[in-house]
Amino acid sequence: MRFNELNLSWELLRAIEDCGYTEATYIQKACIPVVLSGGDIIGQSQTGTGKTAAFAIPLVELLQPTIQKRPQALILSPTRELALQVTEEIRKFAKYKEGLRTVCIYGGQPIQRQIQDLKKGADIVVGTPGRILDHIKRRTLRFNECRILVLDEADEMLNMGFREDLETLISHLPSQRQTILFSATMPQPILEITDQFQNNPIHIKNPVSQMTAATIEQIYYECSQSDKLIVLMQLLQMRNPGLAMIFCNTKKMVDELVSELVVRGYPAAGLHGDMKQEQRTLVMEKFKKRRITMLVATDVAARGIDVETMDIVINYDFPQEEYYVHRIGRCGRAGKQGLAITLITPRQREKMRAIEQLTQSRITKQALPSRSDMQQFHFQHVKNKLVDDLSHSIPKEIQKLLEELLQEGYRAEEIAGVLLYREIGKELFNEIQRPKDPDSKKARSRAISVLLLDIGKKQDIAPAHIISALAESSGIRGKDFGKIEISQKETTVEVPQEYAADILECLKTTTIHGIPVHGLILETHKNKTRKRSEKSPRNKRSQVASDLKERKKRSISSKHKRR
């Protein structure tokens, strides 16, 4: 369906045409008429399906500029980046609708500047829940005349702990209003929100067949966790993307991967929740201006990033099912070709098949680049450079040096061979160093950390439950886990020291046998096969267990407070 068949004004159609849009996506043609008629909507749609335009276009069509400039519509977004993206879209569509003013409100920006901006009036307010609520409490923002509320990426707002803020904020809005909710997933908390705040909403869901764009080629490579970095570097060399996004599951992994990329000469930067707002803004500006070409990010931090010219998206860490479509939807936009690459471990094959079924799309397995493949690629690359350089004249000083070497008895072929070898690099002729077999003496002597988990026989836990859950969430091989001792209320697990912190990070979002688990590092030692007498002192174990119990209490307490 074309936009001119949706009963829109000429001003809006002209603005849509300026954006280069002609055909409406499924979510747009389904939502726009309902919003224009005043109905409530539950829109279930993923990144890259045009959901922002699905509510922004009818919003601009419905609202008329007023002299008072009091907010007629409020759009809530989980992150600053997404709020800015929505604001930009609305302003594009309102290009020819004179007087319609949109203001963006978010944390990390001086509040006084926002107060001054609001004093000029706003027909549409876009913002994050925390900062909007702050303005309501300060009485610098009132929604007495607000008649449309949009909750964008509602599932992510709940994941970020905004439930209480949302309920407080919505209580300040008129009860007679239109409420539009968009969410990629429909967990129970979202259904509760819709029951609480919407009136007979129409559920519009993007068809499974349209979950991923036809312009995105999806492939995956299978390798061990320890080989992922080598494989990633090989793929970046061979694919040579203009702009690429690389997704990791933890903030720690983002920082580590950025360091590895920068050391190897790639213009890379990270994006995650621990970064200050100013840092995140600077990184995004550099990425959009191509001063950096590799953006490494976590899922939440990447919400709201909209770069139409993205060449490749790489899942360095395997995503949760609901995040896969969000990730890969950042390439293949505006009809352009995109490539989505996922790196998986052998244990994740079934998960890959589950994602294929979910998206009803073909995800092709590719063979890992061999040493021969990499050599041929580099040889061709160097050859092309040399052929290009041969068209330029050589400085006289270089010509003189060459003649001296020839006079000293060196042959031209020898000189060329040495220079080519130096240009290509000796690393290309070395075999990839694989990790040693865990059964070797060297492996047995590596540093081992003992993790203490607050779960045990009381919860019917077996060693298999521990290994499968931790290996699956962290990507670490099952045979890398050492001794597991399960008592009535707690469990100790031996893991390689280098993986201990990552496993504890993964525990924050992982359950074992369906039970949330907390963990701490009990001790670190050198030899996997230490004697019984070398176990940690009882008083130390008791102290760590006490710390673990206290941490669990604080976690439960904070959850109750959020509720």
Average pLDDT over every residue of 156-183? 89
With a CB cutoff of 8 Å and minimum separation 6, the contacts of 411 are none
Say which residue the tokens 């990552």 belong to: 502
Segment among 153-157, 188-192, 195-199, 332-336 with least mean pLDDT: 332-336
Q: How far apart are CA 252 and CA 245, in angstroms?
A: 17
pLDDT (0 to 100) of residue 559 = 47
The confidence score (pLDDT) of residue 151 equals: 94
Which of 74, 88, 80 lies closest to 160, judged by CA? 80
DSSP string over 441-471: HHHHTS-EEEEEES--GGGT--HHHHHHHHH
Cα 227 to Cα 200, 248, 252, 425, 452, distances in angstroms: 52, 15, 18, 20, 28
Please, what's the b/e burial string for 335-358 (b: 16 or more CB within 10 A of its CB; e: otherwise)? eeebbbbbbbbebbeebbeebeee
In sequence order, the 6+-apart residues with CB closer than 8 A to the CB of 214 are none
pLDDT at 552: 57
Q: What is the mean pLDDT of residues 282-304?
A: 82
Phi, psi of 139 (to 5 degrees): 65, 25
Please name the residue ranges forming H helices in 316-370. Answer: 321-328, 349-359
pLDDT at 554 (0 to 100): 58
Q: How far is CA 386 from CA 237, 390, 399, in A?
A: 18, 6, 16
Mean pLDDT, residues 113-140: 92
Is the domain 3-206 a CATH 3.40.50.300 member? yes
> Does residue 148 carry a pLDDT above 50?
yes
CA distance 14 to 29: 17
| More confident: 528 or 72 | 72
Residue 306 has pLDDT above 70, yes or no: no
Q: Kindly state the average pLDDT of the residues 199-212.
A: 75
Beta bridge partners of 450: 494, 523
Residue 558: pLDDT over 70: no
Token look-up 């969410």 returns: 183
Rounded to whole angstroms, what are the CA distances from 436 to 222, 440, 445, 467, 473? 19, 7, 12, 21, 23
Backbone angles phi, psi at 77, to 5 degrees: -125, 150
Domain range summary for the chain, segments of one domain joined by +: 3-206, 216-369, 372-429, 441-562
Q: Is 217 helix (H, G, I), strand (E, B) or coil?
A: strand
Same topology, domains 3-206 and 216-369? Answer is yes
The strand order across the sheet containing 519-525 reads: 484-486, 491-496, 448-453, 519-525
Tens digits of residue pLDDT in 509-539: 777 877 888 888 887 776 544 443 344 444 5
How far apart CA 495 and CA 523 sit, in angstroms, is 11
- pLDDT, one tens digit per residue, over 235-255 is 888 888 888 999 998 888 888
- Please report the pLDDT score of residue 125 as a whole number: 96
Q: Which CATH number fits domain 216-369: 3.90.1150.10, 3.30.470.30, 3.40.50.300, 3.20.20.100?
A: 3.40.50.300
Residue 164: both structure tokens together: 């209480």
- For the chain, what is the radius of gyration of the CA atoms? 28
Q: What is the pLDDT of residue 548?
A: 61
Q: Are 341 and 194 in contact (CB under 8 A)?
A: no
- Domain at 441-562, CATH homologous superfamily: RRM (RNA recognition motif) domain (3.30.70.330)
pLDDT, residue 15, reads: 93
User: Percent of the chain at pLDDT above 70?
Assistant: 82
Q: How many residues does the chain have?
A: 563
Q: Do the beta carbons of residue 5 and residue 16 sit within 8 Å?
A: no
pLDDT tens for 33-68 read 999 999 999 998 766 677 889 999 999 999 988 888
Nearest C-alpha neighbor of 272 from the set 257, 290, 289: 257
